[in-house]
Every structure is written in structure tokens, then in C-alpha cells.
Amino acid sequence: MGNIVLSDIDRVLIIKLRHIGDVLLSSATFKALKDARPGIRTAALVPAGTEDMLTLNPSVDEVITFRKGQGLANELRLIRKLRQGRYDLAINMTEGDRGALLALFSGARYRIGFDPGSRGFFGKKLLYTETVKQVYDGRHRAVIDMDVLGPLGIMPEEIAVELFTSASDDEYVSSLLMKNGMGAGTKIAVVHPTSRWLFKCWRDEAVAEVIDRLEASGLRVVVTSGPDEREMEKAARIISLAASRPVDFTGRLTLKRLAALFKMSSIFFGVDTAPMHMAAAVGIPVVALFGPSDFRLWGPFSDKAKLLAKTSDFPCIPCHRDGCNGTKKSICLEAIAPDEVMEAVAGLLK
């Protein structure tokens, strides 16, 4: 059992100062907390630009954003806002010093965080009233995150990562698809071949071949990417290599509209990146390629997913490096064949 009486907690602040995919995976923790105590009020503190992963989620009552590098005045305004929340409990879901300090400055009586051990500044552990050991034991990141609920006595059996869109975003994407010749009966395959870390990306010519084969199978391919210039350039190269004419939505959709597109699609194919987690969260089949990163920790959290990683040929997986020998290219990832991808797609669509 936990050391904090859950019935005494009415207002909770959960701090997740990480990237888009990390923030989305934290939705499972919010849901578990809300399910255990439906009347509790939850607030999320996340980096600006990631808030779409939690807004409209019925388990999250408020989303507060924070942007680094905005000066002391900005930091003080944030602290003032947190204190106005009058939280009974603050939970820091990341290892960083900033999250620990913000949990303290929130004024919450109870504060839970992962045990920093020897990391961070001296005395950091004393900022928490309860600490939890962060154990990497083959579980998914979404599951490990939920360990912070242990002191509350919450140990959910069912875990769900969820993502929600608005009716206006759904209507926008539906209209956009119609303008590009894709009506309600069109079977769409979204191909998202890029990542902000290019060493996670597959061979351009291999992606182009899969696009052509998906089109030949009767699926209409829509190619997406983030708005980053390098991602869009890579996606443009892939599209130029394809003999078919996939629909180009690269860099055009907000995160919510990207999620809306996934909801209207038959399957997602891509690499280890936030949109992969988004596609899994809205419930469509996902084929994902993994190389240097840990697929057990970061794979799509879904029972409709097929993860491809050449573990039998490359015992170095996962190496957690940015490519082989500093090349920014991951040989283990490039070794995956288009035939393997198509077999995975066929299996999921069956």
C-alpha cells in the first residue's frame, strides 16, 4: 500500500518536462489516477509545444505549459501560477532538477518523484516527501512512469495511452482528404519516415519502394513529417524516388490534425518517433522500425502493432548511440528489408 492516503488528495500537479512522445505516454498515469479517484482534479505541467498530447483528455483537467529560456520573470510567473493551484500533491515524472524544484515551489504538501540517487544537486532527494526507484527491467516507458503512483496505493491492471482530437480538427482533416481525392471509403496508409534524429530513419529508397507497394496493394499513401527543414527535405527525397504519386502532407499538419489523420487511416508505417506513439494511441495498426533505441522501452504501446528490429543479426541492439561509429547511420536499421515491412502490413490488415 502507498504512504499517502488517496482520499485526502483533491488536487494533483503532474510534471512531465520531456518531448512529445514522452508527454503522450504520461496520459496512462493520468487515467490510472482519475480511475482510482474520479473526483480528483489533475493538472499537467509540460513543455510548450507538447500540450496537444494531453489537451481534451478527460483525465486531465488543466494543462500548463512552460518554455525554457524565457528569463527569471517567466519562471516566477510560472511558480505563482502553480501556487495558485493549491495542489495537495505534486508528482515529478522525470529525473531533471527543474521538475524537482517546481514540485517544491508549487507548495504541495506531498511531493513524489523518482529517487535521484547520486544524480542532480546535493540534497535533491529531500525535496520529495516520497521517492520511487526507477527500474528499467524490460517494461514499457508508459508502465515505468506509473510507478510514481505506488505511494498512493494505485497499481492498475489495465493501462491505456490515449489521445483526443476536437471535432473541428477532425472536420479539417476530413475536408483536406476529400480535396485530395480521398473520400470516406478510401483505405489510407500513413507513411511517416522521418524523425528529428535522422539516425533513427530508414533508407530513402527502401521507404519509396514500400510506398509503391502499398499503393499497388490498393492503399492510398499519405506521407507526413514534422515541420523541421531536415525532415521535410528527407521526405521530399523519398517522394521523388517513388514511382507512384503519394499524397504529400509533410509539415502541413498540427499535432492534433495529425492525430485526426491517423484516426481516419487503415495503417501507420514509420520509425521510432512521436507520431508512431500517436498512431498507436488512437488505435490504428502500426508497423514501426527500430534500430539503436530500446524497443522494449519505446515501442508502440498497442496490441495492434508489429515492431521490426534485426536483433538476431545485431546483438548490439539497443546500443543507444546516434548511428554506428559516429556516422549518424544505423546499419541494423538499414538491414531491414521492404519485404519484411510488407509482410507485417499484410498481417496486421488481415
Q: What is the DSSP string of 282-298?
A: HT--EEEE-SSS-HHHH
Q: Which amino acid is at 99?
A: G
Q: What is the pLDDT along the chain (350 residues), one digit of tens a residue?
A: 457 999 999 999 999 999 999 999 999 999 999 999 999 999 999 999 999 999 999 999 999 999 987 788 989 999 999 999 999 999 999 988 999 999 999 999 999 999 887 777 877 889 999 999 989 999 999 999 999 999 999 988 889 999 999 999 999 999 999 999 999 899 999 999 999 898 999 999 999 999 999 999 999 999 999 999 999 999 999 999 999 999 999 999 999 999 999 999 999 999 999 999 999 999 999 999 999 999 999 999 999 999 999 999 999 999 999 989 888 889 999 999 999 999 999 999 98
DSSP of 91-142: EE-S--HHHHHHHHHTT-SEEEEE--TT-SSTTGGGG-SEEE----SS--HH
Domains annotated on the chain, with CATH: 6-152 (3.40.50.2000), 167-349 (3.40.50.2000)
> What is the pLDDT, as a whole number, of residue 328?
85
pTM of the model: 0.95
Which grid coordinates belong to 133? 526507484
pLDDT attached to residue 69: 79
Could you please report the per-residue DSSP string of 27-79?
HHHHHHHHHH-TT-EEEEEEETT-GGGTTT-TT-SEEEEE-TTS-HHHHHHHH
Secondary structure of 154-185 as H, E, C letters: CCCCCCCCCCCCCHHHHHHHHHHHHHCCCCCC
What whole-number distance in Å separates Cα of residue 296 and Cα of residue 331? 19
Give the chain's radius of gyration (CA, Å): 21
Collapsed DSSP state (helix, strand, coil) of residue 206: helix
Tell me the C-alpha distance between 297 and 140, whole Å: 4
Distance, in Å, from the CA atom of 294 to the CA atom of 306, rounded to the nearest integer, reads 15
Count of all residues that appear for the chain in the document: 350
Res 3: pLDDT? 72
What is the rounded CA–CA span in Å between residue 130 and residue 114? 9
Nearest by Cα to 195 from 242, 235, 163, 161: 235
Say how far apart CA 131 and CA 81 lie, in whole Å.
25
For residue 280, what are the CA distances in angstroms to 176, 185, 284, 300? 22, 22, 6, 6
What integer pLDDT is reported at residue 1 of this predicted model? Answer: 41
CA 176, CA 260: separation in Å to the nearest integer? 11
pLDDT at 297: 95
Compute φ and ψ for 192, nearest 5 degrees. -120, 90
Per-residue confidence (pLDDT) for residue 2, from 0 to 100 = 53
Select from 138, 93, 160 the least CA-distant residue to 298: 138
pLDDT at 326: 80
- 42, β-bridge pairs: 12
